[in-house]
């Protein structure tokens, strides 16, 4: 298979490659007792979630090249040196060096499965026999949200420094994949260092939006700290080019505001989806533009809101309202169920959850044809016949996991955008 070179210079460019992870047994390995620790407020029905996810992945398989995390991981674990290094890193970070030798004996496919679905705790000592834990290595319940652990920024891949240790293995695995898979050509960078775990520096992919080749939008959220954003500013300074980092502060509660893409996503070259109370009507949440030029921070300025900041930079975006414009309760309900979280397949061609009916009606009012994912998969509808559309995924179960179409995708290559 021909390797793909990473390149994302705008969230809107036509998709040419995306990494996915179909949810598996790791979701079934969640119980009411450990759901909160796994960052869930509820437990999901795997059979229903998988059926909905297959709609999502099936449409993407029709429009772009897709890669599965499990297959990529299995591929790199065939190399003994990579296997040894990755297992060493995971076992040291998660303090389970006692299981390292056993993991190294596993074939690549079984090891890949256990690293994601969990390594069952062996009850062969009194300590383990009496332990309330079920796993030596806990399942990665959140891994189907592939956007969070890594994100393609221009010609490189940022490996996230996750805010919660329960998700750190996702980033460790993605770093190993990008640095070792023969199918992907890229360079990685990260603030994550297992030997110097600065808890004040965190940044996750759901907060990073590549707007244009000279504009990066970053959410300052419960998951991405100011020091995490400072790390990104330093990366831009090193390029010695003029670049704008637009920072949007987010509330730390409720949990539906964990990332910027839960309240703001790009739809077309002139439209964006917004959760109005946070993006346009909050007096407490700051929008800040950081201008980097010739290796220095030229200015840091507070702006009225995110859309006015982008307009000053030549991106005049029309807002489309999550939950519609008439009822704040509907806005709140649909934002909670990832109503603002859209994935752009190309400019004006996006994917989102069908369940958010007021948001879909608002999209339709703005010229978007609403197309059911099942109709695309059955061949009833040909996406090539439409210039502007939303592919609507049945997401009643998936949305309960706390993320939408953008969260569940990690684009690695997009075409350039004609502005």
pLDDT in tens, 151-210: 999 999 999 999 999 999 999 999 999 999 999 999 999 999 877 778 899 999 999 999
> Domain locations in the chain?
4-89+138-414
Give the pLDDT confidence of 85-143 residue by residue, as tens digits.
Answer: 999 999 999 999 999 999 999 999 999 999 999 998 888 888 888 888 889 999 999 99
**Are 290 and 300 in contact, with CB atoms under 8 Å apart?**
yes
Give the tokens for residue 313. Answer: 């930079």
Please, what sign has the CA dihedral across residues 259, 334, 280, 316?
Answer: positive
What span, in angstroms and rounded, lies between the C-alpha atoms of 241 and 275?
32
Could you please report the per-residue DSSP string of 242-302? -EEEEEEE--S-SGGGSSGGGTEEE-SSSEEEE-HHHHTS-SSS-EEEEEEETTEEEEEEE
Residue % of the chain over a pLDDT of 90? 82
Distance of CA 65 to the CA centre of its chain: 18
- Reported as type and span, the H/E element at residue 20 is strand 15-20
Any residues with CB less than 8 A from the CB of 146 and at least 6 apart, and which?
19, 20, 21, 69, 174, 408, 409, 410
Please, what sign has the CA dihedral across residues 407, 409, 410, 416?
Answer: negative
Confidence of residue 42 (pLDDT cuts 50, 70, 90): low
Residue % of the chain over a pLDDT of 70? 96
pTM of the model: 0.94
| Residue 189 phi, psi dihedral angles, 5° rounding | -145, 155
pLDDT at position 45, please?
84
- Reported as type and span, the H/E element at residue 191 is none
What span, in angstroms and rounded, lies between the C-alpha atoms of 306 and 308?
6
What span, in angstroms and rounded, lies between the C-alpha atoms of 319 and 307?
8
What span, in angstroms and rounded, lies between the C-alpha atoms of 214 and 320?
24
340 versus 27: which is more confidently predicted?
Answer: 340
User: Would you call 116 exposed, middle or buried from its count of C-beta atoms within 10 A (0-12, 13-18, 19+)?
Assistant: buried
Q: DSSP class of residue 315?
A: -
**Are 329 and 301 in contact, with CB atoms under 8 Å apart?**
no
What span, in angstroms and rounded, lies between the C-alpha atoms of 93 and 172?
10
pLDDT at position 396, please?
84
> What are the beta bridge partners of residue 210?
216
- Reported as type and span, the H/E element at residue 366 is none
Q: What distances in angstroms separate CA 274 from CA 96, 136, 298, one per listed residue?
A: 43, 41, 29
Give the tokens for residue 282. Answer: 């909050």
**CATH class belonging to 4-89+138-414:** alpha beta
Mean pLDDT of the chain: 93
**Are 390 and 348 in contact, with CB atoms under 8 Å apart?**
no
pLDDT at position 30, please?
57
Q: Is 68 helix (H, G, I), strand (E, B) or coil?
A: strand
Any residues with CB less than 8 A from the CB of 76 and at least 6 apart, and which?
82, 83, 86, 176, 177, 180, 181
């Amino acid at each position: 298979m021909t390797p793909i070179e990473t390149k994302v210079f705008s969230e809107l460019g036509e998709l040419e490659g995306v990494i996915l992870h179909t949810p598996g047994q790791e979701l079934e390995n969640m119980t009411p007792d450990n759901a909160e620790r796994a960052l869930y407020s509820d437990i999901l029905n795997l059979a229903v979630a998988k059926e909905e996810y297959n709609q999502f992945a099936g449409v993407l398989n029709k429009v772009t090249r897709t890669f599965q995390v499990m297959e990529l991981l299995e591929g790199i674990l065939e190399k003994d040196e990579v296997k040894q290094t990755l297992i060493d890193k995971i076992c040291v970070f998660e303090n389970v060096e006692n299981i390292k030798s056993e993991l190294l004996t596993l074939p690549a496919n079984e090891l890949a499965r256990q690293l994601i679905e969990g390594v069952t705790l062996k009850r062969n000592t009194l300590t383990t026999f009496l332990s309330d834990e079920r796993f030596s290595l806990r399942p990665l319940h959140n891994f189907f949200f592939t956007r969070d652990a890594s994100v393609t920024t221009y010609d490189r891949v940022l490996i996230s420094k996750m805010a919660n240790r329960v998700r750190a293995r996702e980033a460790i695995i993605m770093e190993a994949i990008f640095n070792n898979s023969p199918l992907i050509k890229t360079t990685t960078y990260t603030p994550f260092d297992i030997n110097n775990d600065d808890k004040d520096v965190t940044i996750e992919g759901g907060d990073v939006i590549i707007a244009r080749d000279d504009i990066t939008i970053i959410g300052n959220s419960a998951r991405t700290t100011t020091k995490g954003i400072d790390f990104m500013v330093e990366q831009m300074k090193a390029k010695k080019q003029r670049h704008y980092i637009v920072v949007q502060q987010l509330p730390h509660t409720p949990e539906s505001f964990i990332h910027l893409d839960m309240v703001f996503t790009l739809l077309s070259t002139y439209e964006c989806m917004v959760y109005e109370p946070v993006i346009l009507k909050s007096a407490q949440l700051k929008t800040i533009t950081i201008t980097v030029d010739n290796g220095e921070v030229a200015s840091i300025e507070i702006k009225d809101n995110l859309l006015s900041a982008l307009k000053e930079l030549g991106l005049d975006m029309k807002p489309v309202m999550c939950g519609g414009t008439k009822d704040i309760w509907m806005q709140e309900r649909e934002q909670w169920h990832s109503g603002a979280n859209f994935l752009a397949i190309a400019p004006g061609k996006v994917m989102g959850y069908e369940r958010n009916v007021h948001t879909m009606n608002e999209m339709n009012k703005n010229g978007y044809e609403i197309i059911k994912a099942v109709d695309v998969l059955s061949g009833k509808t040909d996406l090539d016949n439409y210039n502007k559309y939303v592919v609507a995924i049945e997401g009643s179960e998936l949305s309960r996991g706390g993320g939408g179409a953008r969260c569940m995708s990690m684009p690695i290559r997009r075409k350039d955008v004609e502005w």
